[in-house]
Amino acid sequence: MSARLPHRPAAPDAPVLAVVGAGPRGAAVVARLLAHLSAAAGARAEIHVVDPHPPGAGRVWDPGQSPLLLMNTLAGHATAFPDADARLTGPPSPGPPLRAWAQRQGIALDADDYPARALMGRYLSWAYRRTVAGAPPEIRVVHHPTRATGLLRAPDGRLRVTLADTPELTADAVVLATGHTDRAPSRSDTVLAAHAARHGLVHLPTGHAQERDTSALRPGEEVVVRGLGMGFFDQLALVTEGRGGSFAPLPAVGGAGGSRLRYVPSGREPRLLVTSGRGVPYLARARAGAGALPPHRPVVLDDAAVARLTASAPGSVSFGGTVLPLILKEAGVAWYRILAEHGDTSTGADAAFLADYAAAPSGSRAERELVAATVPDPAHRFDVRRIDRPLSGRIFRDGEELNAWVRRWLAADLAAALAPRTSPLKAAAAAVAAVKGPVRRLAAAGVLDAASVAELREFRSFGAHVASGPPASRAAELLALAEAGVVEFLGSDPVVEAVADGAGTGRFAVRTASLPERTVTARGLVDAWLPAADLTRTADPLLAGLVHSGTARPHRAGAAGDGPPTGALDVDLTDFRVRDHAGRPADDLFAFGIPLEGLEWNTAIGARAGSDAALFRQADRIAHGMLRRCAVPPAPV
């Protein structure tokens, strides 16, 4: 056990506080507990931090992972400390953001860089150590490098936390900040895994790319990869550059600005046959810095619209019928604004058109007629279906035709990402990114109806594809790998089957909607995504045990809580207290972050410097509640 021990042991009557999960959210709760306790004269406490991964960094940001795996956040946005003027209930606990810390380490980072996750992990671990080292001697902080496997109420009413390989803890208050936990395999997962074991095949199921052993993927051998989101780009880097390949710049061509690359193989790469529901990767992020789009200011789903919607009766607002049309109109306005400024002169998009378009209801006949009369070329129109599912309805003669089409699509998206000020697509993506905050407020307000659960999941997928994709550099690398023949695209909507021939040789067989007459077989299958949080399918014994014992319950949609399960742990969002099987919020058990996905929305979003990040305000509220439970007066604001 690693620990930070004070100058003298904590007093016997000191409250015991447990933080389960020590990634950025768990570490933020520890920091806020220490801020409150340090400001209260004579306060004593024991804080036990449970996580098998390095505290501060946690699982996702483990400093030991490959430096090839990149953050999806700009260096200038990353921080482990709340802003000095953050709206907290106790004293501030400021510290340097990532770039300032890196500079002190002699590491140059531009604000617009996408740093390695391992570097962010080193920073987060340092931030945790700095915070704990500043605790007064009356506060004892202990890290237990193990997993919490259970939580039950002891006979004396306190909470007993079972640990995997060390004695259990008994605590006065506990917060669950467990982050991305594993999910139980589906029936299809089980069938594929059994087939792989029976025939000596390779099946890598969903999960964290940095935790996978890809050594069984043989050089030159074809491997089917399902998933073209962020997990795919991680996996791609590990089996190409991670095996000795490299990228070299090509001369500038047209508007690409010298961004095109050539891949130099090592000969140790597998050949990747890639597919997903869309059949194309997430759209590349628009460049930041010089030449970037200005920040999008919502004009349709603005503060006034959000205020009206959040004032609605609980469970009365349809996401698909009311909110999504506003989001699409927001994106369409952004699209046509850029088209009016930089588009083809054959379009009639101008200020008058923009005003009429904004006033026409989204998807209405009036909107369609207006657009058709003003923008004659369908390729210039905002078409959310074409953006979301560009391969939908397209059937190709053969793989060569399909791959040529996808490479052109990739090249066009890369060019748009590098020149976003003239791209309607990247303007629309910026609008979608800008409304994620308002959508999160609507989801947390409890006004959405039961049907909105599935609609929000669809929007999350669309928003990730459009506005949470890889840096442009990753898109350039993928294009180079496709041109080098290391990557081949199979198309959209794959169907994967476990097959065996008459001789008993097993393979994975794949067909797609884009190439319905072609079946591809391979001895390797990689599922390259991280499954969404879902309490009803969790493989985490702690979370599953809480529900089984009735100490917690799954959250259900609807005003009366009788709708479909959202996948979230049910909590009171005013202070994040966990509700038991009867809906009663506990006074001593809290939960935070990704286990609440479905009740909250977009919970994986990190803290952004200079934004009064919700992550720190929520951590502060939880720390306040834990101390109140233990009769420790919180520090004054």
Query: Is pLDDT of 321 > 90?
Result: yes
**Tens of pLDDT along 192-226?**
999 999 999 999 999 999 999 999 999 999 999 99
Q: Would you identify the CATH topology of the domain 2-182+533-629?
A: FAD/NAD(P)-binding domain (3.50.50)
Question: According to the per-residue pLDDT averaged within each range, which of 47-61, 258-272, 601-615 is highest?
Answer: 47-61
Task: Please compute the mean of the pLDDT values over residues 371-384 and round it to a whole number.
Answer: 94
User: Which residues lie closer than 8 Å to 463 by C-beta, 6 or more apart?
Assistant: 432, 433, 436
Q: Which residue has the tokens 């609440």?
A: 596
pLDDT at residue 256, as a whole number: 45
- Please tell me the number of Cα atoms within 13 Å of 192 on its side-chain side: 23
pLDDT at residue 5, as a whole number: 34
Neighbours of 345 (CB within 10 A): 5
**Tens of pLDDT along 537-554?**
999 999 999 999 999 999
pLDDT at residue 7, as a whole number: 31
The domain ranges of the chain are 2-182+533-629, 187-282+470-527, 303-390+411-464
pLDDT at residue 9, as a whole number: 40
Two domains, one topology: 2-182+533-629 and 187-282+470-527: yes
**Tens of pLDDT along 67-101?**
999 999 999 999 999 998 899 988 888 899 999 99
pTM: 0.94
Measured N-to-C along each axis, helices 399-418 and 424-434 cross at an angle, to the nearest 10 degrees, of 70
Query: Is pLDDT of 483 > 50?
Result: yes
pLDDT at residue 633, as a whole number: 66
**Tens of pLDDT along 458-473?**
999 999 999 999 999 9
Average pLDDT, the chain: 93
**Tens of pLDDT along 398-436?**
999 999 999 999 999 999 999 999 999 999 999 999 999
Burial class (CB in 10 A: 0-12, 13-18, 19+), 395: middle
pLDDT at residue 631, as a whole number: 80
pLDDT at residue 361, as a whole number: 92
The helix (H) or strand (E) run that includes residue 170 is strand 169-171
Q: Does domain 187-282+470-527 have CATH number 3.40.50.720?
A: no
**Tens of pLDDT along 556-605?**
998 888 889 999 999 999 999 999 999 999 999 999 999 999 999 889 88
